[in-house]
A and B are shown apart, each in its own frame.
Chain A
């Protein structure tokens, strides 16, 4: 089945630790995205990548980092510099030239 796989589904992090969220897609899409979702605020763009080895900051990139070494993979690292990391994180992909984005099932990160 084609789709986007995010792992883990739930993640707990101690304050001061970095943590990496995985996102893999087999849709052969060029563009991939990371969003953060908080209650009542909709989806906010963290980073996006339109091609391998290239990525750009979104609206709320501070405290996050990404890499895009392979077309199918776009991991997100939440660093200790992110002051309020507890949130629901969504990865999406999209084919260049089309506008619909397809989402993974999300990772819920909680800082303990």
Chain B
């Protein structure tokens, strides 16, 4: 079993829809949670970072963490074609290592 599970999709939504992405994890030592966005043939860029259970909002993006269920989510409101990318979740126990999900490919149709 992988430490971090993420549905690779692909996920296709119409412009303006809410995109819902999620990851599950098995390591209860994970305390820090990140979401990265990666455009084709580019390096990942950090979107959201959180370390507590609950919601964190930044513009159209909301990151949600449920440590009791070992489940994290990213919601994108009012999705735009420019949101079309692969979204990676990442987690850390506070040491050197970051564990990544496989990434979910999202396409927002105009």
Q: Are A and B interaction partners? A: yes
Interface residue ranges, A against B (CB under 8 Å)? 4, 6, 31, 33, 40-43, 45, 48, 50, 56, 88, 90, 99-106, 108
Number of interface residues of B (CB under 8 A): 25
Q: Least Cβ distance of B99 to chain A in Å?
A: 9
- Residues of the B chain whose Cβ atoms lie less than 8 Å from the Cβ of A102: 46
Q: Is there an interface contact between A100 and B46, defined as CB atoms closer than 8 Å?
A: yes
The contact of B101 among A42, A56, A101, by CB within 8 Å, is A42
Question: Residue of B at shortest CB range from A10?
Answer: B41
- Which of the residues B8, B51, B96, B101 comes within 8 Å of A31, measured between beta carbons? B96
Indicate if the CB atoms of A108 and B41 lie closer than 8 Å: yes
Q: Which residue of A lies closest to B102 (CB)?
A: A42
CB distance from A105 to the nearest CB of B (A): 5
B60 within 8 A of A: no
Contact with A99, one of B32, B36, B41, B103 (Cβ below 8 angstroms):
B32
Do the beta carbons of B44 and A103 come within 8 Å of each other? Answer: yes
Given A42-B103, A103-B44, 13 other A-B residues pairs in contact with their CB atoms under 8 A: A40-B102, A41-B102, A42-B100, A45-B98, A56-B96, A88-B41, A99-B98, A100-B46, A102-B46, A103-B45, A104-B43, A105-B42, A106-B43
B62 at interface by CB-CB < 8 Å: no
